[in-house]
Amino acid sequence: MELIAVNGLRKVYGTRGASVIALQDIHFAIEKEQFVAIVGPSGCGKSTLLKILIGLIPASQGEARLSGIAIAGPRRDIGVVFQSPVLFPWRTVLDNVLLPVDVQRLGRDKLMARAMNLLSLVSLHGFEKRYPRELSGGMQQRVAIVRALVHDPTILFMDEPFGALDAMTREQMNMQLQHIWLERKETILFITHSIPEAVFLADRVLVMTPRPGHIVDDVVIDLARPRNLDVMTTSDFGRHVKRIRDHFKTVGDLSA
Ligand code: ADP
Ligand code: MG
């Protein structure tokens, strides 16, 4: 069954005078256990789409469904990672990770093993008692990913999660995220403005063009897994990147 179904979504910001059409006629579906990336230049409406999907803002028209139920407000059965990790400085790594468990009163005993397992999966074993300030940016973002997964969400949403990291850390994070996905078979919707990042990570890349944001292509990335960074130098990888990049050439925007 489709986990996410988006039909005829439209979003207009502002009512009087200067209104902005941020999204226009968005349609797509995501199957369980798929890793889907949405790629598009800055300002094309990616975060707007994500905010609608996590129930933070309403759509102006159309609807989005998660597990068959219309998304009408914030829900607890999802995980979200933003560009900035937003950890609580006074909580240890483990206490940050267990925040959703505490807030939703799921019981620490039941989920402690899962939390520890996820921390190991992102190479943070031994850092449970550290505080966020003692960690690098990449490590903090890994804590945020574990926190988003600890309550076993139906789907993980990520909005440019590695955008603030340096290029080498970002590549390592991409490898780790693939590792998590292969191990845990999460369903992931990953938003990025980096075409190579989208192609490296995803099974499918939805291509969004600038305002009003509209999906113009749905590219199946059939590269074998596990993928390592060398895949980026292959002709198949280059072919996917070119196909996606060509959409932006036609509108004269190379910022992606
Ligand atoms: P992206 O995440 O792809 O960079 P956004 O979804 O953040 O794009 O923004 C899409 C468009 O909507 C941009 O033109 C932005 O200026 C506009 N926008 C975003 N949020 C608001 C808001 N709260 N009010 C008015 N315009 C907004
Ligand atoms: Mg954004």
| DSSP string for 29-60 | EEETT-EEEEE--TTSSHHHHHHHHTTSS--S
End-to-end, the C-alpha distance of the chain in Å comes to 32
Q: Is the pLDDT of residue 42 over 80?
A: yes
Domain containing 59 equals 1-77+156-161+186-256
The answer to the question of residue 126 being in a domain is no
The answer to the question of residue 198 being in a domain is yes
The answer to the question of residue 92 being in a domain is no
Does ligand 1 lie within 6 Å of residue 20's CB atom?
yes
Provide the b/e sequence for 225-251 (b: ≥16 CB within 10 Å).
eebeeeebeeeebeebbeebeebbeee
The answer to the question of residue 173 being in a domain is no
The answer to the question of residue 177 being in a domain is no
pLDDT tens digits for range 70-82: 999 999 999 999 9
CATH number of residue 38's parent domain: 3.40.50.300
Which pLDDT score, from 0 to 100, does residue 251 have? 52
The answer to the question of residue 256 being in a domain is yes
pTM: 0.94
Region 121-132: mean pLDDT is 95
The residue whose CB lies within 8 Å of the most ligand 1 atoms, and thus the one to mutate among 21, 47, 52, 82, is 47
Q: Give the span between the Cα atoms of 243 and 236, in whole angstroms.
A: 11
Report how many domains make up the chain: 1
Q: Is the pLDDT of residue 256 over 50?
A: no
Distance (Å) from CA 128 to ligand 2 centroid: 30
The answer to the question of residue 55 being in a domain is yes
Q: Give the span between the Cα atoms of 84 and 231, in whole angstroms.
A: 28
Does ligand 1 lie within 6 Å of residue 22's CB atom?
yes
pLDDT tens digits for range 179-226: 999 998 899 999 999 999 999 999 999 999 987 899 999 999 999 999
Q: Which ligand is nearest to the CA of 11?
A: 1
Which pLDDT score, from 0 to 100, does residue 250 have? 60
The answer to the question of residue 62 being in a domain is yes
